[in-house]
Structure 1
């Protein structure tokens, strides 16, 4: 039996702490017949943090946002409505924290187009066409069939063969424009599941596992950071603070609205995100 599973543990609480958030959570857990380890396994909240919360110590949660998320998760695990406990937590800790203002957007640096290089092939073809045309024109107009000053006095002047017309230059084939490539976000392997997470305006605790239970990542994703995970079959996610997370699955953006401090458990497979 885990420490803190007996009703007699109420003797460890002072009289004024019996209605605290931690005390209510402990009483509900004991009434539900659950151990701290069982609650930790079902909520993914570590055992030391569960003990600390039940003793009224929220310093190990990492801040008010995470503490409120843990209280909500633990309350649901032991069969309590989390809303009254969140209100009691806010009252005990100076009210609900003000929302973090969005970081100012910086104008993206404009990409200057590279200067076009001269098309030497076209220039050479145009020069050849001009030279051939000029030569042909000169040859055609220079033989008009009249006798020169040294023509024979008697008899007709010898007939001259007309100059052959200049050969037409071969038409220059225009290079076909290359077909546009697919988007970089959509170009993901079709035989794998690919998940990309980005913390947009706040940090978030992330846990990612492969289909065989292998832990791919477990830690904080700081503001502005991104992580990408791949697996042959399935990726399981736990988002400790789902609100600031921007999520792409198999190249498609997930449009679900997550709340700050909300804990989300997600699972995705190959193909369309809705298949996950």
Structure 2
């Protein structure tokens, strides 16, 4: 009886190395899991943060970083997990999928009718009207209506003061006609009003999809750490600074100290930003 490593395990590793060499990958190139782990560390993210941003469970993230794809449920799901994790940490997902296919001897399957239907739904969603622009137009209309009502009210007071004595009693006895109350504007698209000059105020609005957000105050205390769904917003205030980590930068709109900074970054980009009471210095 021989005590040591299992022959089957050694043979499996040797076969994997031979397959990688046959695929044109240098011997000193980090494995797929090691590549993802290094990219995650470089992005300053933990496994829990990556799991929250990709919806890939923590045990599966650990297994993939150890080049164990048995928990993925098959090659199809393994490819999807690789692309999602690579997008979250800033790695080349397609290159990792190609290496996975070369090592494991698999190839992408044709899109099933259900997947094709999902693709059509995605294209249909992209063709929907821009509700953000429509809401901004509605806000402008509401402001115009309010201004018109204010001017009309001043004119009515002037006419009442210049009328004869019986007129005020007639006007006071008549029931006031209810004015049309416009719908209140949505708070998620309005910029920060009257931001305190001695504090930093940051407002994040999810406008282009769902993004994972982490917010820390000036003492390093966590203010928020979760997914921010589309249409939702969060506002953070601190006397010193606000530090943000944004998992999907293109989906998040930033307002800092009352100023509109626009989208936080590109699609799938992980952004680390820090703001103080004097920011932004320009713009």
Q: Which TM-score band (shorter chain)?
A: 0.5 to 0.7
Relative distance call for 1:58 and 1:194 in structure 2 (3 A) is farther
Is it true that 1:45 corresponds to 2:47 in the alignment? yes
Relative distance call for 1:12 and 1:251 in structure 2 (3 A) is farther
What's the counterpart of residue 239 of structure 1?
246
Is it true that 1:209 corresponds to 2:216 in the alignment? yes
Quote the Cα distance in structure 1 between the aligned partners of 2:81 and 2:202. 23
For 1:195, which of 199, 202, 209 is the aligned residue? 202
Is it true that 1:273 corresponds to 2:265 in the alignment? no
Is it true that 1:71 corresponds to 2:73 in the alignment? no
SS at match of 2:126: coil
Task: Write out per-residue CA displacement over residues 170-209 of structure 1, whole angstroms, 9 at most, x where no aligned residue.
Answer: xxxxxxxxxxxxx963510111111111111211111111
Quote the Cα distance in structure 2 between the aligned partners of 1:241 and 1:274. 25
The structure with the largest helix share of the pair is 2
Quote the Cα distance in structure 1 between the aligned partners of 2:127 and 2:82. 21
For 2:95, which of 69, 74, 84 is the aligned residue? 84
For 1:225, which of 216, 224, 232 is the aligned residue? 232
Q: How many residues align?
A: 200
Q: TM-score, normalised by structure 2?
A: 0.52
Quote the Cα distance in structure 1 between the aligned partners of 2:98 and 2:277. 41
Quote the Cα distance in structure 2 between the aligned partners of 1:13 and 1:264. 37
Quote the Cα distance in structure 2 between the aligned partners of 1:82 and 1:71. 5
Task: Write out per-residue CA displacement over residues 111-157 of structure 1, whole angstroms, 9 at most, x where no aligned residue.
Answer: 344372354466435759xxxxxxxxxxxxxxxxxxxxxxxxxxxxx
From the CA coordinates, give the structure whose radius of gyration is larger: 1
Give RMSD over aligned pairs. 4.7
What's the counterpart of residue 260 of structure 1?
267
Shift of 1:252: 1.2
Quote the Cα distance in structure 2 between the aligned partners of 1:10 and 1:269. 55
Shift of 1:42: 3.2
Relative distance call for 1:267 and 1:58 in structure 2 (3 A) is farther
- Mapped contact 1:65–1:261 kept (Cα < 8 A): no
- Which residues of structure 2 form unaligned runs of 5+? 1-8, 24-29, 49-57, 74-78, 102-106, 112-118, 166-189
For 2:126, which of 101, 116, 119 is the aligned residue? 101
- Which residues of structure 1 form unaligned runs of 5+? 1-8, 129-182
SS at match of 1:189: coil
Q: TM-score, normalised by structure 1?
A: 0.53
Quote the Cα distance in structure 2 between the aligned partners of 1:211 and 1:254. 21
SS at match of 2:269: coil
Quote the Cα distance in structure 2 between the aligned partners of 1:93 and 1:104. 33
SS at match of 1:211: coil
- Mapped contact 2:36–2:85 kept (Cα < 8 A): no
